[in-house]
Amino acid sequence: MFLRLVYESFRRQKRRKVLAGVAITLGVAVATAMIAVATDIGDKINRELRSYGANLVVTPQEDTLDVEIGGVNLKPPSDGAFLNEADLPKIRGTFWAHNITGFAPMLPVTTKVNSSTHGRDVTLLGTYFSKELKLGKEDFVTGVRATNPWWKVQGGWPDDNSLEVLVGERLASSLQLQPGDQIALAGQSHRVGGILSTGGAEDDEVVAPLGVAQQILGKPGSVRRIYVSALTKPEDALARRDPKTMNPETYDRWYCSPYVESIAYQLEEAIPHSHAQQIRQVAQNEGTVLSRIQGLMLLVTLAALFASALAVSAAMATAIFERRGEVGLMKALGGGSASIAALFFTEAVFLAALGGTAGYFVGVALAHQIGQTIFNSKITIQPVLFPIILAIAVAVTFLGSAAAIRRAVLLDPVFALRGEA
């Protein structure tokens, strides 16, 4: 009998059930989308923050002091220690390799540049543009195009295995160079692939594939420093501790958290005779910006949850209020308050389960749409969200109907049937 009542209620009152179901679906969809976006926005903004450039730098351990003003190196270039280019792919073998979005080696050398009309001393910076590297079976591509997205090239980016170079825009205008021109570097002829604009010291420099710089310096396979761009977790008390003073358990936790400190530590392990440290301007500030944005989205998500909980409750209350005549009839026929309440609650839970499931999938689609339009990448949705969302939907529907059900059940059937409630 009870089941038949529930079944008939759904069969005969399709319009009302659909309306309430739509309200629940909508509320749950908004809640799902907001939770999904809020939990993933940290990762998305973290990736956007990588456009500030590398947050880690690896230098040789026994390095001499840089003598550099405004990006111009005043030290004999062959001075100091070097890292080995062959060690570079090992960066992809470290524990947090998947958090490393890119790296670029740098080898500055001072050389003589001769165009058809002028000649002068310049800094030539050897680097990877987008170099294909191999570690074991894994292929990957990295270089300044990934780590320094603010570098703009008029013309074309040179191939990493070619002899083409980029010329900084101020240098190019003083030497009157265009893409496609020929220049002589250390006596050898190179084609200018493009004009580089960075807003930094590189505007006065020549940027070339690493091999060209190594050849001019006469030190094949050497690298001066490596810039590494990594997704990191904002620094906290644990991050700042010295790994040497930790007990094994804390050390494991530190080592397995993507702090900029622990990634630096792992880079030192991977590259022999190296010293890795954070670039504080980038690394320190991204934590603040990230936590502010995450906090903002979290609070906004709370507001969204509140609004959708209210929407669901209001819809349920209205739906039950409209049925007080039915309640009066059941009571007049001898239905007990408990069994009538049970009937309504069963209906509510059933509606919540249906609407919640539909809402979850609509919400997932919505989150994907938001991720695609704003961040051009997929929002990852934890599968564990589904039971949580469903539980919340059932709880909210239950609580939202409770007051209305109570009122409907307490009503005198005479008034209810006369329509005077």
Partner 1 sequence: MSSLPHQPSHVASRRSGGPHTSMFLRMLVRAAVLRRGRAASALLAMVVAAAVATAMLNLYADVEAKLRKEFRSYGANVVVMGKDGTALPSDALSRVRSTLGGETIAVPFAYIVARTRDGQSVVVAGTDLGLVRQLNRWWSVTAWPSENGAALVGTRAATLVSRAGKPFDLSFQGRTIHLTTGGILQTGAAEDSRIYLNLPAFEAWTGVEPSTIEIAVNGSTQEINATIPRLARQLSAAQVRPLRQIVEAEARVLGKTRAALLAAAALIILTSALCLLATLTGWVFDRRRDFAIMKALGASERLLNGFFAAEAAALGVIGALVGFVIGIGLAAWIGRVNFHASVGPRVSVLPVVLAGSVAVALLSATLPISLLRRVEPAIILRGE
Q: Write out the binding residues for partner 1, residues 199-218 only, by CB under 8 A.
A: 199-200
Q: Is 329 in the site for partner 1 (CB under 8 A)?
A: no
Pick between residue 212 and residue 330 the one whose CB is nearest to partner 1.
330
Q: Measuring CA to CA, which residue among 29, 44, 47 is closest to residue 385?
A: 29
CA 387 to the chain's CA centroid: 25
Residue from 81, 238, 246, 293 touching partner 1 (CB under 8 A): that is 293
Of the candidate spans 67-75, 133-141, 333-341, 388-396, the one that interacts with partner 1 by CB under 8 A turns out to be 67-75
- Does the protein bind partner 1 through residue 75 (CB under 8 A)? yes
Q: How many CB atoms lie within 10 A of CB 45?
A: 18
- Tell me which of 301, 340, 356, 381 binds partner 1, using CB under 8 A: 301
Q: Determine how β-strand 56-60 pairs with β-strand 274-278.
A: antiparallel
Q: b/e per residue, 152-176, with b = 16+ CB within 10 A?
A: ebebebbebeebbbbbbbebbeebe
Q: Structure tokens of 98? A: 């998947």
Pick 164 or 202: Cβ nearer partner 1: 202
Alpha-carbon separation of residue 359 from 163, 317, 364, 398 (angstroms): 57, 19, 8, 17
Cβ closest to partner 1, residue 63 vs residue 181: 63
Answer for which of 18, 256, 299, 395 binds partner 1 (CB under 8 A) is: 299
**Beta carbon nearer to partner 1, 48 or 268:** 48
**CB of residue 32 vs partner 1: minimum separation in angstroms?**
11
Question: Minimum CB separation from partner 1 for residue 344, in Å?
Answer: 17
Among 34, 343, 348, 405, binds partner 1 (CB under 8 A): 34
Is there binding between residue 421 and partner 1 (CB under 8 A)? yes
Q: Which of 141, 186, 279, 399 binds partner 1 (CB under 8 A)?
A: 279
**How far is the C-alpha of 315 from the C-alpha of 334, rounded, in Å?**
28
Q: Is 181 a residue that touches partner 1 (CB under 8 A)?
A: no
Based on CB atoms, which residue is closest to partner 1, 24 or 213? 24
Q: What is the DSSP string of 87-111?
A: GGGGGGGSTTGGGEEEEEEEEEEEE
- Closer CB to partner 1, 220 or 419, in the complex: 419
8 A C-beta contact, residue 232 and residue 258: yes
The secondary structure of residue 209, as a DSSP letter, is E
Binding mask 337-376 for partner 1 (x = CB under 8 A): -----------------------------x---x--xxx-
Residue 48 is a binding residue for partner 1 (CB under 8 A): yes
- DSSP letter assigned to residue 377: S
Out of 99, 162, 284, 346, the only residue in the binding site for partner 1 (CB under 8 A) is 284
Could you say whether residue 280 binds partner 1 (CB under 8 A)? yes
Q: List the alpha helices (DSSP H) in 142-279.
A: 144-147, 169-175, 210-217, 237-240, 248-255, 260-270
Looking at the Cβ atoms of 63 and 269, the one nearer to partner 1 is: 63
Beta pairing class for 188-197 and 165-168: parallel
With CB under 8 A as the contact rule, the residue among 178, 182, 188, 281 that binds partner 1 is 281
Tokens 């091999």 correspond to what residue? 211
